[in-house]
């Protein structure tokens, strides 16, 4: 099994767990759990593959991705009530999923010999879009857009680091490990220490 396939499996599993946790907060039924989990798990990668004209889309060529996501949904459906703080589990699992998915998307784009700009955008798309779809569908404020937290910035930094490492001649494994590590370190720092970028604040017009 290739590194890229392992990353896709990992991101599908962890993102599916976050989707199921969001479904538990919305008090959906088991089918709703499975739908939100699968949407979250494959949403970003599907958009990536469509934009890259990758045929077939990764989960259509291997049904195990959907089975893994559905299994995660079932697991959370029967165990979520045992978790003391589902939101805390959600944000930390999401941080791991983001990092793995950004590395997966970046790696796929690099394997297609795309331009640096496209590689960065595919990493960001893979990492951010599944979670954005998840939160929008259930009516929650998307973590991607939550004020005061680094999220898209983390994806951008990780994917950019991978592009620079690839240009420097690093092998695939250290390149993608660097990508995931930087992405997660920034996201964890934002959650633990409040790292953030300055937000726009409107000012009254001058008279």
Average pLDDT over residues 69-90: 94
Q: What is the pLDDT of residue 203?
A: 78
What is the model's pTM? 0.94
Average pLDDT over residues 84-96: 93
| Tokens 């390149």 belong to residue | 175
Confidence of residue 207 (pLDDT cuts 50, 70, 90): low
Confidence of residue 157 (pLDDT cuts 50, 70, 90): very high
What are the residue ranges spanned by the domains of the chain?
A: 3-193
Confidence of residue 84 (pLDDT cuts 50, 70, 90): confident
Whole-number percent of the chain with pLDDT over 90: 88
- What is the tens place of the pLDDT at every residue in 102-130? 999 999 999 999 999 999 999 999 999 99
Cβ within 8 Å of residue 69, ≥6 positions away:
12, 13, 15, 16, 19, 34, 37, 38, 40, 41, 42
- What is the tens place of the pLDDT at every residue in 3-18? 999 999 999 999 999 9
Q: What is the pLDDT of residue 83?
A: 86
Cβ within 8 Å of residue 59, ≥6 positions away:
12, 42, 45, 46, 65, 66
3-state secondary structure (DSSP) of residue 152: helix
Q: Could you tell me which of 4, 3, 1 has the C-alpha nearest to residue 122?
A: 4
Q: What is the pLDDT of residue 92?
A: 97
- Residue 84 has what DSSP assignment? S
């Amino acid at each position: 099994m290739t590194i890229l396939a392992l990353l896709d499996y990992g991101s599908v599993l962890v993102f599916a767990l976050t989707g199921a946790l969001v479904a538990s907060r919305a008090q959906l039924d088991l089918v709703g759990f499975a739908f939100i989990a699968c949407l979250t798990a494959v949403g970003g990668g599907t958009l990536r593959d469509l934009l890259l004209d990758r045929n077939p889309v990764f989960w259509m060529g291997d049904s195990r991705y959907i089975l893994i996501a559905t299994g995660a949904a079932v697991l959370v459906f029967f165990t979520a009530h045992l978790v003391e703080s589902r939101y805390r589990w959600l944000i930390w699992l999401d941080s791991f999923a983001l990092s793995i998915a950004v590395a997966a998307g970046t790696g796929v784009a690099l394997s297609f010999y795309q331009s640096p700009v496209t590689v960065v955008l595919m990493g960001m798309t893979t990492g951010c879009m599944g979670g954005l779809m998840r939160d929008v569908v259930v009516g929650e404020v998307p973590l991607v857009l939550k004020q005061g937290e680094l999220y898209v910035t983390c994806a951008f930094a990780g994917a950019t680091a991978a592009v620079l490492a690839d240009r420097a001649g690093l092998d695939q494994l250290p390149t993608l490990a660097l990508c995931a590590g930087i992405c997660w370190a920034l996201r964890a720092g934002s959650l633990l220490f409040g790292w953030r970028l300055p937000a726009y604040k409107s000012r009254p017009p001058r008279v």
